[in-house]
Amino acid sequence: MPHKQLAARALLAALALVALPRPSIASDLTGRASVIDGDTIEIHAERIRLEGVDAPESGQSCTDTEGRVWPCGRRAAFALADHIGQKPVHCISSGKDRYRRSLATCDLGGENLNRWLVANGWAVAYRQYSKAYVSDEAIAKEEKRGIWSGTFIMPWDYRHQKKSGSFKKPATSGNYQCGDKHTCREMTSCAEARFYLNDCGLTGLDRDRDGIPCETLCR
C-alpha cells in the first residue's frame, strides 16, 4: 500500500479516537470555600454545585407557621457559610453540569456537606438526579427544621415559575399567606380558613357552597 494511503488511514484513525466521547473522570479539589448560594460554593475559582441537593434560590422566600414571609434562600446560604467558616472543604467531582460547574460531593472535616444541608432543612433531596438524601429530608421534614418549619415552593418549581413568568407573590393578610395548605385539617382557625377561601380561592374548603369554610371551625 502506498505510503500516502497509510498516512491518511493513520490520520483518520487518530481523529476518530479524538472524536469519541470520553467518560467523566472524578477529580478532587480542596481549599477554603466561598459560598455562592445555598447549594453552590467556589474553591480556587472553581464553581462547585453540591450534587444531589437543591436549596432555595437566593431570591426565594418561604413562610413560617405564623404566615410571615422570610428570605429562606439567603438564610440557607448564610447557614452554609457559617457552618463552613474558615475550614478547608474537600470535594470530589463526578463531572460538569450544563453551566460548566463541577458536580461534587463535598466534605468538611469528615462530614458530608451535601447531607448536612438536607438534614438541617436548608436544602431538599434533588430526586431527579439522586435519591442519596431522601431519608435525611424525611427527618428534617418530620422535625420541622429550616424551610420545613413552614411552607415553601420546591426550588425547581420556583425556578420554572420564574422562567415562565407565572410566579406571583402569594396574597397576604395579617398573619396569613396563601401557601400550600389545601384542607380544613390544616387550618388552625376560622379566620385562616376564611382567608384561604376568599383570598386564595381554595373553594374546596366550602363544599356545600354556603360561603362558610370548614364548618367545624366556623360554626
Q: What is the pLDDT along the chain (219 residues), one digit of tens a residue?
A: 555 554 555 544 544 444 444 444 447 999 999 999 999 999 999 999 999 999 999 989 998 888 788 899 999 999 999 999 999 999 999 999 999 999 999 999 999 999 999 999 999 999 999 999 999 999 999 999 999 999 999 999 999 888 876 555 555 555 666 665 778 888 888 888 887 776 666 677 877 777 788 888 887
Asked if 17 and 28 touch (Cβ cutoff 8 Å), the reply is: no
pLDDT at 180: 58
pLDDT at 206: 79
| 35 half-sphere exposure, CB direction, 13 A CA radius | 22
Strands (E), 83-158: 88-96, 102-108, 111-112, 124-125
Residue 15: DSSP 8-state: H
CA 30 – CA 107 distance, rounded (Å):
9
Determine how many CB atoms are found less than 10 A away from the CB of residue 180: 12
* Strand, coil or helix: 204: helix
Report the amino acid identity of residue 63. T
pLDDT at 22: 41
Q: Tell me which residue of 133, 80, 130, 103 sits closest to 29, measured CA to CA.
A: 103
pLDDT at 204: 76
pLDDT at 212: 81
Q: Tell me which residue of 139, 136, 145, 143 sits closest to 62, measured CA to CA.
A: 145
Asked if 121 and 145 touch (Cβ cutoff 8 Å), the reply is: yes
75 CB-near residues (< 8 Å, 6+ apart): 122, 146
pLDDT at 210: 73
CATH for 27-164, options being 3.40.1170.60, 2.40.50.90, 3.40.718.10, 2.130.10.30: 2.40.50.90
* Strand, coil or helix: 92: strand
Segments making up each domain of the chain, as ranges: 27-164, 172-218
